[in-house]
Amino acid sequence: MNLHNPVDPELEKLEISLLLEGIFRQYGYDFRNYAYTSVKRRVTHRLQLEGFDTATRLLDGVLHDPEMFHRLLGDLVIPVTEMFRDPETFQAFRDGIVPELRKLPYARIWHAGCSTGEEPYSMAILLEEEGLLDKTRIYGTDISEGALEQAKDGVMPLERMQLYTQNYQASGGKRAFSEYYVSDHGLVLMKPFLRKNIVFARHNLVTDRSFNEFQVIFCRNVMIYFDTVLREHVHRLFYESLAVGGFLVLGNKESISFTPMAERYEVFDDANRIYRKVV
């Protein structure tokens, strides 16, 4: 961490832990149980950009300068996302979960850690094509207010559209993807009808409680940044928030196995990390 002297890993760990403690006590954001290697990488990156050599100096900076804190926050939340990310998961949703949702009068789907909204908009498109959009409410939540503002606007970068079109087609999309957006001055705006059943709201998986009962929860590529304690906490929150028979959809590198909640779910689709709450 110190750019000039050899790094003492224990001292470095202590300094990062004090930085996270300071952030929590000053700003209320709790990264204390995020996976250490990932946090260390993000902090090192920020140190280089700010020209500091230790996390202690960065702590001094963020405590006295809220703008510096927001720059560090931007590093810590990792907003990377795509529309129809991992298309096979959306194909599995169409094939396996849509028939179950058809049987219900109404459904609520929660995208926890939705970043800039690509995942909820993908879901809205899928449900529209399956004739289920009008009877479904989609909740997109995230810790990052900046990401949510972008999500609410429904604006996507034009240069991402080629990838998103490929993903959409690979996920079993039934129409021309261009039917869902208009482009203008290098930006793409998702059509407003997709937005009408999506609620975007701030929700922190570490500190906030359950806020509804859902038939489906997507939480993909969020818990990979959490340590075991925090992952277990979030799995409890999801268990409390899912209806019996509801589905939990995780990221490709995530699993519910080896968590205390595992026995309350059955594996619905192992390859696509889809689990169904049974009790």
Ligand X SMILES: C[S@@+](CC[C@H](N)C(=O)[O-])C[C@H]1O[C@@H](n2cnc3c(N)ncnc32)[C@H](O)[C@@H]1O
Q: Shortest distance, CB of residue 143 to ligand X, whole angstroms?
A: 4
Q: According to the binding rule CB under 6 A, does residue 80 interact with ligand X? A: yes
Q: Where does 55-170 have alpha helices with state H?
A: 55-64, 66-77, 87-92, 98-102, 118-129, 145-153, 161-170
Q: According to the binding rule CB under 6 A, does residue 77 interact with ligand X? A: yes
Which of left, alpha, beta for 181 (phi over 0: left; psi -120 to 50: alpha)? Answer: beta
For residues 132 and 143, which CB has a smaller minimum distance to ligand X in the complex? Answer: 143
Q: According to the binding rule CB under 6 A, does residue 144 interact with ligand X? A: yes
Backbone angles phi, psi at 136, to 5 degrees: -125, 140
Burial of 38 (C-beta count, 10 Å sphere; 0-12/13-18/19+) = middle
Q: According to the binding rule CB under 6 A, does residue 113 interact with ligand X? A: yes
> x-or-dash pattern for ligand X, window 173-212, by CB under 6 A?
-------------------------------xxx------
Q: According to the binding rule CB under 6 A, does residue 23 interact with ligand X? A: no
For residues 2 and 150, which CB has a smaller minimum distance to ligand X in the complex? Answer: 150
Give the DSSP H/E element, type plus range, for residue 117: none
Cα within 13 Å of Cα(199), Cβ side: 12
Residues 211-240 that bind ligand X (CB under 6 A): 220-222
Question: What's at 6, amino acid-wise?
Answer: P
> Among the candidate windows 10-18, 139-147, 155-163, 264-272, which touches ligand X by CB under 6 A?
139-147
Other CB atoms within a 10 A radius of the CB of residue 83 amount to 26
Q: According to the binding rule CB under 6 A, does residue 92 interact with ligand X? A: no
Residues at the contact surface with ligand X, assessed by CB under 6 A? 77-82, 85, 113-115, 119, 142-144, 147, 204-206, 220-222, 251
